[in-house]
Structure 1
Amino acid sequence: MALYDFITAVAATYERRLDSDGHRILATAPDTLDPLLPAGYIVRSGGGKGRATLTPWFAVLDPDETSTPQDGMYVVYIFSADLRQVTLLLGQGATRLSDDRGWSVARERLLSDASTLRGALGSAVDDLQDSFELGDRGKRALSYMAGGIVSKTYEVGALPDDSVLERDLARFMSLYVRARIERSNHAQLDPGSIVLPARPLVPSELAFAPKSDEDYLVSIRGVEAVARSRRHETIVRELGEILEARGHEAGTNVHPIDLEVLALERRWMIEVKVVRNGDARAAVREAIGQLFEYRYFLRRDQPVTLTAAFSEPVGDAYVQLLQELGIEAIWKSRPRWEGTPDARFNLLA
């Protein structure tokens, strides 16, 4: 279901009972949003537990940041209580903070951080709202409003077409990445300017210097297990499921290789990379180094097709570089996975 159709269907069918058609449609939010997102994000939705909420929502979460809208930063669509409006919001979770410190303290902290981050985003958000209304004065609705960094409200009866909705979503996803960077920068350079703790953007550096093949095999298992991020593992799982659905045999149990696939009597070694903050160069460099390293230590006596998988497109120049080095490439390109001709035909077809 397209985003326009999804929003209008929820607004038309949502009722304040948990067995309504609107609740069932909300549960299909991943089917609508996944094709519009880079790989590795997770989609959640909610209409209440135990009793229906006045303000249903569906959200996009970076699993390296949070797995729930109760905590951390995320992008969310929230319907107003009368279902006549839906607001696209870059927001902060309040539930856990409120449980720990009380609602009054949580609200002040959310407002403070939202203001700081809005200022850090500067002119990039000048045309966006810094506040919105949901028509509900309950604590959950008030926490959404307090934690809102920037937002854009649509009238459900006058929604723009899908091209505009998708462009706005892509913009908010970019702001999501930038806001996390700004939060981390402020926390380090101006302690106290950000009250809520920043999540680490990249794994910590780990010492690793094996003396032999055997030492390599022992050491790399521990290093890789710690260094992999939640978003990385989400992509590995998603890609593995796609490949198995196409009739290939995919395994994630050959550490430290992300995915090893048997397809059309060929063995494919796949290294998955998250393109962080748009830095395709870093992702490509890491993929090249790791694929050659793993082949040398783990598969030097076996024919294997090296393949790099990226959370988003890395550009034609880097794809050509990979092919020059004998490495195939695949990447998430909305709404599907794409790749070099060999990989596309043999893995993704």
Structure 2
Amino acid sequence: MGSFARALEDFFTLRGLALPTDQAERLAAGRRKRRLDAVPDPLRQAVTAFDASRMRNQDRARRAGTRPRSDHTLETALSTMRDLAVFLVSHRGKDDWALADVHDIEAFLATLPKARKRRLIVLRQFFRFARSQHIVLVDPTVTLTAKESNNFRGRTLTLDQQRELFRRWTTGEHVHPHEALVGMLAPLHGASSGEARMLQITAVDQITRAVCLGKRPRPTPLDPASWAVLERCLAHREEWRTDNPHVVVTKGTKAGRSPASTAYLSHVLDDCGYPPRMIRSTRLLDLVNTMEPKLVAAAFGMDPQATMIYLADRVDPGRLPALPKTAGATPHRT
């Protein structure tokens, strides 16, 4: 479906003159089919049945009003199963799921150590399904562990790097407004790319100079520098002459009402040289280690456990009170 067709769909559905098409579902089905077709023939039937089972679960969750798995989650699981199937056939010489053992799974997980936990979750789900369908007799993932701590291990920005980015986004004449907006919201207000992507015009309060971000319970007041960047982005949006309700509007979304793509937001900061997650993590790490983590979670609309991974396992010596020295006392550690 092209941009003109999407614009017509938005026009008629918004006015109640037509029902929305199944374009998104058809695209998701095509992406899943491409992943299934890449699975080697001897192992494809089981993966296809696994995908069909998860699709039924997604449909039941939708009808029950609970939280169904997203299409992206289902596609990521199929990618993992495709990679495992190719690995078993190409590197282990096995063309039957029943022949897979714990050593095969361990060798596969070792190919991408950083993705071990995420991949192991998918593999456990598949082999539980396979065992229930009598495709395998033994689940080879039972004894495997993630071997991954929940502590924060990402990279953060130094103070000099933060100052450099601040000057770039506030004074750079050739910086794209979208880059400046996503960049300023991340280090100063801890906003994720998803929150910037879904930000709408109705969420911007011109009087209080505040915006409603994501699931945050209260509007987020913007400092003068962030507000100036937001105004720049709004001026750029006006040039498109669009009815799209979102602040971040691209060439592909100006004719419709959908937000910018996730891929666009993931690359919007490429020119500055730092990924969005690294910039946002710098802010969260600082807040969690200077404030109560649960307060940070409540303010940002996050799960309380999500902020705990940013809690450092050491205490800055400058924050400890000076202990009185007593004669003959032996220092000890706790």
TM-score (ref. length: structure 2)? 0.24
Answer with 1 or 2: which has the greater Rg.
Answer: 2
TM-score (ref. length: structure 1)? 0.23
Between structures 1 and 2, the one with greater helix share = 2
Higher relative contact order (CA closer than 8 Å, sequence separation 6+)? 2
